[in-house]
Amino acid sequence: MAFNCKQRLRDNIEAIRTAFTLERERRAATPEERALLQKYCGFGGLKCILNPARELTDAVHWAKSDLELFAPTAELHRLVRGNSKDDTQYKRYVDSLKASVLTAFYTPKEITDTIADVLADYGVRPARMLEPSAGVGVFVDAVLRHNPDADVMAFEKDLLTGTILRQLHPDKKMRIDGFEKIEKPFNNYFDLVVSNIPFGDIAVFDAGFQRSESFGRRSAQKAIHNYFFLKGLDTVRDGGIVAFITSQGVLNSTKTSVRDELFRQANLVSAIRLPNNLFSDNAGTEVGSDLIVLQKNLRKTELSQDERLMTVIQTDTKTNLTDNAYFISHPERIVHTTAKLDTDPYGKPAMVYTHEGKTAGIAEDLRRMLDEDCHMRLAMRLYSGAIGQAGERKAVAVEAKPEQPAMKPEATITARTEEARTEKPQPIEEKPEIEPRKPNYQAGVQLSLLDLWG
């Protein structure tokens, strides 16, 4: 189904209205109200909400092509203003809405279900799951289908989206905050971290990253997608899985220090390039993205050949097309039916991939590729063995091991980068003053924030 701006805006308005009603009446959603909440798709692709719409005279500033959206946009602002306790809160809501226009591209349910299904087929049914950029929780829903009792923590920075997320999952730990606010005791804690993470040159400040002696960790703060990868890997336990849909900026960047940092402490499970029309129906936009699945391995000693490829960038001198060496060597890992040389949003040469089968066709090809990759690379002894080890030590209160120095690619592969790589091992982090209780997987006990903080 093609993206319909007017219908999407209407769905969002009704979802927000329902969430405000539930908060005001302090009750759980009925099945009909849950259906309304689940239609919320964020404001990615709805640039009309950036226009002034407080008074009727504001319509003169709108483009003719957007005038049909003026009335629902004005309704949206009246709804938010009427449910704000003061002008300050209203401004926070509006700022949050505007910020989401460029970043809120929700993953189709068929894709999230495919990722969760394949991982579950290989025994990855996490007891502890983290979603660092949850939206309305489509990844949470997908994982809970296989383990309804999973202990879930999710972050959503957008205020209105976070409000809806809490109403959809009142029995889980839904936090309206940025992922950088996760507490240190949750390092090495989760079995699975999965998300469609934000992307762009959005800086994130993290005191731990800022103090790090690793150049890769310090530089990751400059781009939010790089930060989410390294932070996500921090929070997953040894043997656990990080599965992120992200922009091509993670693998296509000529700055390789972040990828060096990732593969120093994690094994590549899968890297699949997704077609540009993946988000066409949900957000009316075409953007290149990748699915990257990693498995944390703190005892890793060397890089595989494919991991070395992923740290390398190659540029075609004829087309000036810069791409990750992994996809040049493995074109079969690109989900598409057609491809053409075009430009990216920044005007640089880029390959544009599309899939004529739309969402259903994309999900089918993704399932096949991800299944093949998991069969070949997912180390279930590492995943399952680390679960048993986690039961022997205190939950969460784990000392971080010194990081190993970066491993250089073999001489046959050259990474063109001018970045400094004089990195020293990380200092051992101190244990948190409060040590949470031991996990009891057999008893099915779930830790709450009250457990962690006494």
Provide the pLDDT for residue 449.
45
The secondary structure of residue 357, as a DSSP letter, is T
Provide the pLDDT for residue 399.
47
Convert the pLDDT of each residue in 345-359 to its tens digit: 677 888 999 999 989
pLDDT at 61 over 60: yes
| 308 phi/psi in degrees, rounded to 5 | -65, -40
Instruction: Sketch the domain layout of the chain as residue ranges.
Output: 5-40+47-100, 109-390
pLDDT at 422 over 50: no
Residues ≥6 apart with Cβ < 8 Å to 27: none
Average pLDDT in the 211-217 region?
86
Looking at per-residue pLDDT, the higher value among 355 and 217 belongs to 355
Provide the pLDDT for residue 94.
86
Long-range contacts of 336-340 (CB under 8 A, 24+ apart): 336/273, 336/275, 337/361
Average pLDDT in the 239-254 region?
92
The number of beta carbons lying within 10 Å of the beta carbon of residue 250 is 24
| 82 phi/psi in degrees, rounded to 5 | -70, -20
Architecture of domain 109-390: 3-Layer(aba) Sandwich (3.40)
- Location of structure tokens 């805006």: 9
| CA–CA gap between residue 341 and residue 69 (Å, rounded) | 34
| 302 phi/psi in degrees, rounded to 5 | -155, 160
The secondary structure of residue 334, as a DSSP letter, is B
Convert the pLDDT of each residue in 331-343 to its tens digit: 999 999 999 998 8
Looking at per-residue pLDDT, the higher value among 10 and 216 belongs to 10
Most confident stretch, 158-162, 279-283, 387-391, 423-427 = 158-162
Q: Give pTM, 2 decimals.
A: 0.81
> What average pLDDT is seen over the chain?
83
pLDDT at 41 over 90: no
| CA–CA gap between residue 258 and residue 227 (Å, rounded) | 9
Residues ≥6 apart with Cβ < 8 Å to 151: 127, 128, 129, 173, 446, 447
| CA–CA gap between residue 196 and residue 183 (Å, rounded) | 21
Q: What is the percent of the chain with per-residue pLDDT over 70, rounded to a whole number?
A: 82
Query: Which DSSP string corresponds to 187-238?
Result: TT-EEEEEEE---SS-----HHHHH-S-HHHHHHTTSHHHHHHHHHHHHEEE
| CA–CA gap between residue 102 and residue 357 (Å, rounded) | 26
pLDDT at 435 over 50: no
Average pLDDT in the 378-397 region?
67
